Homo-oligomer: A and B are copies of this chain.
Amino acid sequence: MIVQHELNHFINTNREKIQQELTHHLHQLDIPEQLKNSMIYSAEAGGKRLRPILLIASFNAYSDDVSKVLSSAVALELIHTYSLIHDDLPAMDDDDVRRGHPTNHIKFDEATAILAGDALLTFSFELIANDVYLTDNQKVQLIQLFSKASGPKGMVAGQILDMEAEKKAVTLEELETIHALKTGELFRFAIRSGAYLGEATREQIAHLDKFAHFLGLIFQIQDDILDVTGDAEKIGKPVGSDETNEKNTYVKLLDIDGAVEKKEYYVSKAKKELSEANADASYLMALVDYLSNRDH
């Protein structure tokens, strides 16, 4: 079993590797300065690097040499970054601040933010297609998963459903569909692609796929809980902002106790799938509790 300080070491070490790889790829770009600056600004704006860390943890459950997945991990983080830039735009969530810094369109301008998002999205496919560690077949498999997870059948579908849901009350089922698409699909890509490149069996990947689904929901429920019970300083936004913004949340639909209960239920489901995937002793197992109990 992985103990806390081992997990912290794993997270910090890989966050550092991801950061180096990301910096390497973006800083070497020979492109117009304004575009480059705005891409780097958002990509390096901090963040937990959760998705690439999940990808690496999933890979590590079956294989060792992390260099094989670093480009894919960065590509995933860049897709996540593009989605945040576009999400923050005035026509979307209209957010001026993210992680304590001005959002991209505030720091630069709206047109630049739109183009920086487009550029990061496109560049993430270029990264995978040019990854020297992967075979052509691996690249194609990854791009199939990646485009599906992030495109109109995945994340973008979640974003439009989320927007539509803002105007009305939703059921728990509808809420979970939105989360499964908007955040869950990239979680699934992280876990599936890591295991695939780590040469997990087809059956193991099937269990991990379910695991990833539950992990995404756990992540989201904890988000909703923290909005009510968290420390404003740590979560980086006022406590109770979901209620103020009339957002559909687990807490709104189930109250705090119901949300905690639901989360614990998914934690047990997630861990069961991990066992079935022979990944009991992996960092993924430790990450379930880490995500379930995080305070920010």
Q: Give A residues with C-beta under 8 Å from B.
A: 29-32, 34-36, 39, 82, 86, 89, 91-92, 105, 109-112, 114-115, 117-119, 121-123, 125-126, 129-130, 136-137, 139-140, 143-144, 147-148, 150-153, 156-157, 159-161, 163-164
Do residues B32 and A157 form an inter-chain contact, with CB atoms below 8 A? Answer: yes
Whether A35 touches B152, Cβ cut-off 8 Å, given contacts A114-B89, A115-B159, A125-B147, is yes
CA of A34 to CA of B136, assembled, Å: 35
CA of A143 to CA of B161, assembled, Å: 29
Which residues of chain B are near A151, meaning CB under 8 Å?
118-119, 122-123, 126
Q: How many identical chains are in the complex?
A: 2
Do residues A125 and B125 form an inter-chain contact, with CB atoms below 8 A? Answer: yes
Interface of A is mostly: helix
Partner of A126, one of B82, B110, B121, B148: B148
Do residues A29 and B136 form an inter-chain contact, with CB atoms below 8 A? Answer: no
Q: Which residue of B lies closest to A134 (CB)?
A: B140
Do residues B140 and A126 form an inter-chain contact, with CB atoms below 8 A? Answer: no
Which residues of chain B are near A89, meaning CB under 8 Å?
111, 114
